[in-house]
Structure 1
Amino acid sequence: MAVLYEGYTLCGLVPGQNLSTSGIQGIEQERDGDHVIVTHSTRSVILYKVSDQKPLGSWTVKQGQALTCSAVFNSQTKEFVSVSDNKVIRIWKEGDILLDKAFKATVSADVWKVHSPQRGEPVVLFQRGAVRLLDPLLSAPQQPIEEVLTEEETIRWSTSLVAETQTFVIFTTELKGDHFLYLQRLNPNSLQRYRLEGEDPSLSPLSFSASYRDKHICILYIYPNGHVYQSLISLRGPGSNEGTQALPLPRSLVLSLPVSADLLEAASAMVLDDAHVAVVGAPHPSAGAGKDFLCIWNTNFHTLQAGKELAGNIYGQLWSYSSKLFIPHGKFLSVIPFACPKSSLASALGKLRQPKTEELKLPASVPSWNNMLHGDAARPTKAIETRKTRTTRKTRSAPSLTVDQVLEVVKTAPQEKVQREVEGLLSRHDIQDLQPLFGQLALSLVSRSLADPAFYSPSMLAQLVHTQCLCHSVCPDLVPLALERKDYFLCQLCLQFFPDIPEAVTCSCLKAFISLPDLDAEKLSLEPDSLSFVETLISKEHGQVSLQNGFRPPSFEDDLSDANDDQQTTVQQKTTKSPSQNTCPVGSHKAALLNEVLQTAYNDTFLLPHLKDLSSQHVVLFLKYLQFLYLRYSQDDFPQTHSFRSPSLNQIMDWVCMLLDAHFTVLVMTPEAKELLMNLLNFVRAQVRLFSELGKIEGSLKELNKMKVKKDMGQYSIEVIELF
């Protein structure tokens, strides 16, 4: 069954003045599924790494210019391509800073869009229907461009794809209420024109999407009345029919979405696989007349399998890359991961047959020439049967429960029997689709633990988390249950393995960890790697204080140049006489738990409101620990190759800044926080100074790289290099 997981925000939006447009021209995949190019409004292009939710590069055209085509990525040359002012093709690389200094070429006709299909060469679609490959076009930019469309015919949508090593450009047009579809083949060139079957004369398709499967190009389109149609175009179809009447394009009704008396205004439908379609902007069948939903429908059984409410206005835009949906809504661009397991009627009715254990075929423990020559027809003789084989045979002879039976056992059986049956089920190798199974087991165990205070099995839950087949979206009550039972080891595992923990849950873990007494924390059994890292930090805390990263604790003259002499002297004395800065303010086990919070993914927009719930005492303690981490990371004698479960320096500084943003007013009024704030101020200034110097070095190295080196230097030479 299809699943929509917990989404997250990639970036903010600047909607149009009438709130009918999102301000996004297009989203294109870059080097892989974790990198996308977002063309904002008409002036800027931003490259994002999706998993980090942070931009890697940004390019903007000058005032008075406008991007009239969303940017795409040329995977062959590793370059970005876009069009400004309809006729100026711009090409640049990720390292280019100014877009205006990149390559530009002016063509002789207005461009509709540039497409860059995967495993294909970029193609340029002109507004009058002509298609050119990018490289031949750039070799002669002013070449004449023919007009394919008739007068008053306008392009409404376009895309491109590669099927069977051939590139196709697909676009739809509108002419006096009629809609046409063009299929342009490249190498060799041929053009086919189709007429879409009419709906109501006043209704026009809201969106199109195209995909390739089973030697057919599938076109999916949705109308305002909620009808979703599919048209198939065979790759073995007729050749060019230029100059002839448009061919009729048959269609089939895929879905008839429930629509109220009001027609859909902004909706989009997209094929996810052979049996699933994603629809945004259509009402949920059981949620009234609201249109702020994303739904996944099964087209084989016409059933709604997953739905998620979206806050804010829906703009009818939808993109999908690497099992992630990109949806602008309200003032945000959200990324929502999804999964669409293979569907069948048996699985839909819960009647999918489970293979029996005795039907499994285990390999012989000792190789036999008879088996190699005759395969399965020859059974291993009793003489070569090992003890392991005999044990396996005895185990197979014992009856084993099915998945449904184990789930029933979890609901009512004693804890010892539940643990025995669950461990037996997890040890079997005949189970298919492990991720849904583990999700069902976790939900059942958590539900019973919440209903029955006497029932709780931390070892089973930890074993399920260790499989890495769970996430917070699948079992959202798991972490709150662990916090309620004070099972901090399970909390630590969830923070490690769950990529989608909400910011509110992260702050709940932080409150629990920071409130935990050190004596109680030392009794916990935690993950060894995280503990060894903290013990390394604490064992070196009394070592030689030799700092790097541009930070010098004995004197602050450079950092406090804007303060008077008395203030500088006071701060210097306090800093020199304060040995607590280099001492860990919490125990090793408590520090290991706090490190897990530092490494959890978050969005600062959603995290800051929850951080404000921390008390001032907890904030001061947490800031002191972050100060300790910064000092230890900055020492020369501290190894720079940290363990896998250790926070980075950037994560430490980010949390320092967020805590100061959330509690600055309270901290200023807290006397014991005064010295701490002054020290943290210098930490931040040290980092700013460090990155400033690194920027200067980077600029100098770039200038050196641009210098032409003379090949013949002679036997002896003196060169003077001036760095500006």
Structure 2
Amino acid sequence: MAALYAGYTLRGLAPTQNRSNSGIQGVEAERDSDHVVVTDSTRCVTLYKVSDQKPLSCWTVKQGHTLTGPAVYNSRTQEYVAVSDRKVIRIWKEEDIVLDKAFKATVSSDVWRVHCVAGGDPVVLFHRGAVRLLDSLLSAPQQPIEEVLSQEEAISWSTNVVTESQQFVLFTTEQKGDHFVYLQRLSPNTLQRYHLEREEPGLSPLSFSASYRDAHIRLLYLYPNGHVNESVVSVRAPVPDEGAQALPLPRSLLLALPVGEGLLEAASAQALDEAHVAVVGVPHPSAGSGKDFLCIWNTNFQTLQAGKEMAGKIYGQLWSFWNKLFIPHGKTFSVIPYDCPKSSLASALGKLRQVKTEESKAPTSVPSWNTLLHEEKVHPSRTVETRKTRTTRKSHSAQSLTNDQVLELIKTAPVEEVQREVQLLLSRTDTQDLQTSVGQLACTLVSRSLNDPAFYTPSSLAQLVHTRYLCHSVCPDLVLLALERKDYFLCQLCLQFFPDIPEVVTCACLKVFISMSEVDAANVNLEPDSVFFMEALIAQEHEPSGLRNGFSPADEGRSDLAEGATTAKQDNEKASTAEHMCPVGLHKAVLLNEVLQTAYFDSFLLPHLKDLSSQDVVLFLQYLQFLYLKFSQDAFPQTQGLRSPSLTQVMDWVSLLLDAHFTVLVMTPEAKALLLTLHRFVKSQVRFVSELGKIEGSLKELDKMASKRDVGQYSIEIIELF
């Protein structure tokens, strides 16, 4: 059967005044199966690496301009193409930082969309139905564009289809309740017009999707009454023109989805393969009204294969790339992996692999290469038990609880029993099964802990995090629950193992860590390696003054201090004795180090940093100053294997805090000496990097030099490094 797996959050959705709009204009495939380009409905284009759930690059048009079409990626030239203000075509590369400095050209007519798929050339579809190859259009941007559509006809949807030998642009239009389909061939340049059969009076399709199979383009469209229809368009060369009359386009009913009372308002259907369709915004047959689901239906057998409830409002948008569904809902833009095996009657009925009762209770087998490669069935009598499995089976009860039974147990059982059963389940569960069961266990534990103040299982939650099969997107309330229960060890584990912690949660952890009392911090048990690192750093004796990775205390007497007032110099001298002392306790420093090493994106982190108070910002900057001084010493212990932040991370956080609170810090008297010191740090780093750049240039020149000539038995060469 088809399956929907545990999804994760690619990004959050910015709140809009009109909540019927998700704020996402389009999602397009990029260089491979792990990269997508997301275009906001306003001014921003972002490149994401899907597996990391973090943006790699972001480009924005200036204030006053608007992106009027989703950006696409041209795999042949490694360039991005987008349309702004309907007539301006912009082209840029990934290394381009400022979008307005990249190439742009203004065309003579309004553009509907630019399309580009792998294996094809970028094509431009204009609002009035004309189509141009991008290269030919840019050779003469102001060339006249013909009008293909009638005056009252408007495009509603379009796509690009590339076959083995041809490229097509397929788009649909609407005119006074009638819907038409246009098929534009690029070689030869021909256009065919089809008329869609009407559904019920007043009903227009909510969504379209197209796929190419068996020399035909299959158009799939969903109506508000739940009917999913399919029309087939041949890609063979058309017959000679017989006039402007639109050809009738027959349709067939693939699915009649249950819609309950009324009609669908925001829904979408996407063809996944020849037998499976993903549908979002349609009620689940067995769920009550008011709940939005993402479902996969089998069109061959009219069966529901998989369903997943989506929290928040559904906007009727759905994209599919590389066995992943991209769907905005509520305030979240989620990625849902899926699997659609070959359609058969056994899989449609859910009986493709019917496991007997005896087999389901058999101990875990050790897989062989034949099992993995050829799906060879292992007979229960030949099952091999490991030593650990035999010991576990003998020491525990004969009837071990299954994953579903443990989930039910968590909802009502006391804490001790829950922790024991979760530990037993994790000890005997196969690695392949852990990936699906860990998320379910964590969400159930967190849900009960939020509803029942007397219930909390710190050891079980820590075990689940340690499996590394858990992430923030799977269980988004886990970190906030740990902060609420003051379980800082669990917070530390989440910061270490979760690759997708949002910036708002990172700032929430920072705010709690920096403001917690030293007494509470001293009683926290933390991960040993991180504690050992800070113990060594704090216990390190003062080093004699000298060059410290580009920063020398002797520089304090140079022009930097001469530019300041006498009072600032006196304040700086008073503060210099405390520079080598850690301003926070050992355990609080360990927790702050975890925040420094968490992944973030500057634009998303800065707004949340502004919520910190001025006292917290000053204390955090003092700690960063302490780390910088320690890291800059020549005698700094570079211990391998200990978890610690890098000098680059320290300097990046200094810059972030100064950007977020510079005005407040300038007005804070106790921050004056600190700002002067940080200013010297920045200047020393700039000077240090500049010297490294000179050395790099000199080494490159030496590398370019020709091999030494044979000048005899003795020679002297002088090389000057500038």
Normalising by the residue count of structure 1, what TM-score does the alignment of the two structures yield? Answer: 0.70
CA offsets per residue over residues 519-576 of structure 1, 9 Å max, x none? Answer: 6645644334433443454355633553446786742755567x5542454355345x
**Secondary structure of 1:468's aligned partner:** coil
Residue pair 1:197, 1:251 contacting (<8 A) in 2 also: no
CA offsets per residue over residues 462-515 of structure 1, 9 Å max, x none? Answer: 111122333345445533443455432222112222345455654553354345
Deviation at 1:438, TM superposition (A): 1.8
Where structure 2 has 5 or more consecutive residues not aligned to the other structure, the ranges are 298-302, 342-346, 712-721
The answer to whether the aligner puts 1:308 opposite 2:311 as a matched pair is yes
**Secondary structure of 1:118's aligned partner:** coil
- 2: CA distance, partners of 1:124 / 1:631: 56
Deviation at 1:75, TM superposition (A): 1.3
Residue 720 of structure 1 corresponds to none
Residue pair 1:364, 1:380 contacting (<8 A) in 2 also: no
Residue 240 of structure 1 corresponds to 238
Q: How does 1:451-462 map to 2 (within 5 A)?
A: 456-462=456-462
Residue 276 of structure 1 corresponds to 278
Change in 2 beyond 3 A, CA 1:549/1:101: same
Residue 622 of structure 1 corresponds to 620
CA offsets per residue over residues 166-220 of structure 1, 9 Å max, x none? Answer: 7553211335542222345677988664322224665544543335689975544
Change in 2 beyond 3 A, CA 1:230/1:455: closer
- 1: CA distance, partners of 2:388 / 2:332: 53
Residue pair 1:3, 1:305 contacting (<8 A) in 2 also: no
Residue pair 1:296, 1:304 contacting (<8 A) in 2 also: yes
Letter in 2 for 1:543: E
- 2: CA distance, partners of 1:688 / 1:600: 25
- 2: CA distance, partners of 1:215 / 1:394: 61
Residue pair 2:218, 2:233 contacting (<8 A) in 1 also: no
- 2: CA distance, partners of 1:420 / 1:454: 18
Change in 2 beyond 3 A, CA 1:520/1:542: farther
Letter in 2 for 1:403: N
Residue pair 2:313, 2:329 contacting (<8 A) in 1 also: no
- 2: CA distance, partners of 1:130 / 1:222: 26
Residue pair 1:90, 1:105 contacting (<8 A) in 2 also: yes
Relative to structure 2, which stretch is displaced further, 438-447 or 588-597? 438-447
The answer to whether the aligner puts 1:94 opposite 2:94 as a matched pair is yes
The answer to whether the aligner puts 1:546 opposite 2:544 as a matched pair is no
- 2: CA distance, partners of 1:62 / 1:415: 55
Q: How does 1:290-309 map to 2 (within 5 A)?
A: 296-297=294-295, 299=297, 300-301=303-304, 305-309=308-312
Residue pair 1:80, 1:91 contacting (<8 A) in 2 also: yes
Change in 2 beyond 3 A, CA 1:528/1:98: closer
Residue pair 1:255, 1:302 contacting (<8 A) in 2 also: no
Residue pair 1:10, 1:54 contacting (<8 A) in 2 also: no
Change in 2 beyond 3 A, CA 1:97/1:419: closer
Residue 468 of structure 2 corresponds to 468
CA offsets per residue over residues 333-363 of structure 1, 9 Å max, x none? Answer: 9633445577999899xx9988844556835
Residue pair 2:161, 2:169 contacting (<8 A) in 1 also: yes
Deviation at 1:664, TM superposition (A): 6.6
- 2: CA distance, partners of 1:546 / 1:191: 74
Letter in 2 for 1:271: Q
Letter in 2 for 1:590: K
CA offsets per residue over residues 582-636 of structure 1, 9 Å max, x none? Answer: 2322344332211112333557788678767766654443232122123334445
**Secondary structure of 1:400's aligned partner:** coil
Residue 114 of structure 2 corresponds to 114
Residue 156 of structure 1 corresponds to 156
Q: How does 1:136-147 map to 2 (within 5 A)?
A: 137=136
Residue pair 1:27, 1:37 contacting (<8 A) in 2 also: yes
Residue 677 of structure 2 corresponds to 679
**Secondary structure of 2:311's aligned partner:** strand
Residue pair 1:551, 1:683 contacting (<8 A) in 2 also: no
Deviation at 1:286, TM superposition (A): 8.1
- 2: CA distance, partners of 1:543 / 1:619: 28
Change in 2 beyond 3 A, CA 1:379/1:228: closer
Letter in 1 for 2:427: S
- 2: CA distance, partners of 1:385 / 1:436: 23
The answer to whether the aligner puts 1:209 opposite 2:212 as a matched pair is no
Residue pair 2:231, 2:249 contacting (<8 A) in 1 also: no
Residue 510 of structure 1 corresponds to 510
Change in 2 beyond 3 A, CA 1:377/1:98: closer
Residue pair 2:108, 2:142 contacting (<8 A) in 1 also: yes
Residue 251 of structure 2 corresponds to 250
Q: How does 1:329-340 map to 2 (within 5 A)?
A: 335-338=333-336
Residue 719 of structure 1 corresponds to none
Letter in 2 for 1:466: H
Residue pair 1:318, 1:326 contacting (<8 A) in 2 also: yes
- 1: CA distance, partners of 2:486 / 2:142: 73
- 2: CA distance, partners of 1:70 / 1:407: 43
Letter in 1 for 2:270: V
Q: How does 1:428-443 map to 2 (within 5 A)?
A: 428-429=428-429, 434-443=434-443
Q: How does 1:603-642 map to 2 (within 5 A)?
A: 618-635=616-633, 638=636
Deviation at 1:78, TM superposition (A): 1.2
**Secondary structure of 2:468's aligned partner:** coil
- 2: CA distance, partners of 1:26 / 1:217: 22
Residue pair 1:158, 1:170 contacting (<8 A) in 2 also: yes
**Secondary structure of 1:582's aligned partner:** coil
Deviation at 1:42, TM superposition (A): 9.1
Residue pair 2:130, 2:145 contacting (<8 A) in 1 also: yes
- 2: CA distance, partners of 1:80 / 1:469: 35
Deviation at 1:117, TM superposition (A): 1.0
Residue pair 2:37, 2:46 contacting (<8 A) in 1 also: yes
Letter in 2 for 1:56: S
Residue 719 of structure 2 corresponds to none
Q: How does 1:249-398 map to 2 (within 5 A)?
A: 249-252=250-253, 255=257, 267=266, 269-271=268-270, 273=272, 274-279=276-281, 296-297=294-295, 299=297, 300-301=303-304, 305-309=308-312, 323=324, 325=326, 335-338=333-336, 356-359=359-362, 362=365, 398=398
- 1: CA distance, partners of 2:154 / 2:647: 54
CA RMSD of aligned residues (A): 6.0
Letter in 2 for 1:513: F
- 1: CA distance, partners of 2:430 / 2:455: 29
Letter in 2 for 1:555: E
Q: Choose the corresponding residue for 2:593, options 592, 595, 615.
A: 595
Residue 300 of structure 2 corresponds to none
CA offsets per residue over residues 643-686 of structure 1, 9 Å max, x none? Answer: 68443555434544555677678766765444334434544566
Residue 427 of structure 1 corresponds to 427
Change in 2 beyond 3 A, CA 1:612/1:47: closer
Residue 647 of structure 1 corresponds to 645
CA offsets per residue over residues 233-285 of structure 1, 9 Å max, x none? Answer: 55877663563652424153554657879x95xx56252853532349xxxx9
Residue pair 2:79, 2:91 contacting (<8 A) in 1 also: yes
**Secondary structure of 2:526's aligned partner:** coil
**Secondary structure of 1:555's aligned partner:** helix
Normalising by the residue count of structure 2, what TM-score does the alignment of the two structures yield? Answer: 0.70
Residue pair 2:572, 2:673 contacting (<8 A) in 1 also: no
Residue pair 1:449, 1:456 contacting (<8 A) in 2 also: yes
- 1: CA distance, partners of 2:219 / 2:692: 49
| Paired residues, number | 673
Change in 2 beyond 3 A, CA 1:594/1:390: closer
